[in-house]
Amino acid sequence: MTTITKAADCSTVLTASTAQAIKAAAIDAVMRYLGSWSKSLVQGEPGIIHDAGLALGLIWEGNPTYAAYFTTSQAATDVANAVASAKAHGTPAGTGIAFTADYEAQDKDLGSIVAYFGVIIANIIDYKPGAYGDKEVLDALYQVYGDKLWYWQTSAWSGGQQCSYAALYQHTYGQTISGVQVDISEVYSDPGFWVSGVKGDDFMTVLMQGSTGDAVKTLQTNLNKLLGLNLAVDGQYGPATAAAVKSFQLQHGLTVDGIDGPQTQAAIAAALGALDVSVDKAKLQAVINELETVLAHAKALL
């Protein structure tokens, strides 16, 4: 799996040449905007981005630059439009979509922003919501929602302080690469990007609290096998399954977020493989013991 350490927020439609130039500048991923405005991703652009070897981070942004924007009705509209736009681009399930608070929010604004994101979380379908904002905004959201969101922090209005839990930290603004203006972020953990070179149904589905279906049943079965648990194999990713995932992550040195993402899925596959190998060894030893018994009987006849 491609390691993502640096990302660029691009406000311009990318072509094959500009995407390749960004990749050549040691950028691993680009962030682009959903919707239908001047900064938006256009049809076919995800393929161009992936063909250049870049991952793609998705942002929904209406006009979140003042306190009055953050209403529950606006949140319902934003999440519906964001999901429709993501699906129109063929975005795989489990990908993150970041919703933004793109201004210096005051303490009195935080309640409305938290309520706005609550509606986003409750109504988003197939995708996992992220939050982009300064430290004060993200801290308020993290205290309420924890790992139900991905967190993308901007250094603007953050007073030089970083959130320890943020997946990425945007810190350099207004740079130009091959005529494209970009803002640069460091990436510290899985930010929910559409992974480079992975398209449509080939994408590894990210499972989290609220996920349902056969993939969750498989996860529960595997956790029972690896951890000696007795989780109900019911296809419902609830608190017990999330706690089991966290336990597995802790034991294997992974980010403990309770989300069955690409790194956790790879570690589970490796652990199952190792378990299968040990079972094969046990079977082999049994065969050896049986052969030794037969050989001993044969020698006794000589």
Neighbours of 118 (CB within 10 A): 16
Q: Which helix (H) or strand (E) holds 138?
A: helix 135-145
Q: Which of 264, 272, 255 is nearest to 237 (CA)?
A: 264
The per-residue pLDDT for 196 is: 57
Q: Which of 121, 155, 120, 119 is nearest to 138 (CA)?
A: 155
141: pLDDT strictly greater than 80: yes
Q: Say how far apart CA 131 and CA 143 lie, in whole Å.
A: 13
pLDDT band at 276 (very low <50, low <70, confident <90, very high): low
Percentage of residues in the chain having pLDDT higher than 90: 69
The per-residue pLDDT for 93 is: 87
The torsion defined by the Cα of 112, 113, 117 and 118, in degrees rounded to 10, comes to: -30
Q: What confidence tens digit (pLDDT) does each residue in 51-90 have?
A: 999 999 999 999 999 999 999 999 999 999 999 999 999 9
Q: Which of 181, 179, 173, 168 is nearest to 156 (CA)?
A: 173
Neighbours of 25 (CB within 10 A): 14
| Residue 109 burial by Cβ neighbours in a 10 Å radius (0-12, 13-18, 19+) | buried
Q: Which of 138, 19, 118, 26 is nearest to 70 (CA)?
A: 118
Neighbours of 218 (CB within 10 A): 14
The per-residue pLDDT for 2 is: 55
Q: Say how far apart CA 288 and CA 137 lie, in whole Å.
A: 64
Cβ within 8 Å of residue 297, ≥6 positions away: none
* β-bridge mates for residue 152, sequence order: 132, 168
240: pLDDT strictly greater than 60: yes
The per-residue pLDDT for 201 is: 37
Q: Which of 7, 65, 63, 64 is nearest to 32 (CA)?
A: 7
| 143 close to 165: Cβ distance less than 8 angstroms | no
Task: State how far the alpha carbon of 195 is from the alpha carbons of 16, 30, 249, 293, in Å.
Answer: 17, 11, 21, 55
The torsion defined by the Cα of 113, 118, 120 and 121, in degrees rounded to 10, comes to: 140
301: pLDDT strictly greater than 50: yes
Which amino acid does the sequence have at 150?
W
199: pLDDT strictly greater than 60: no
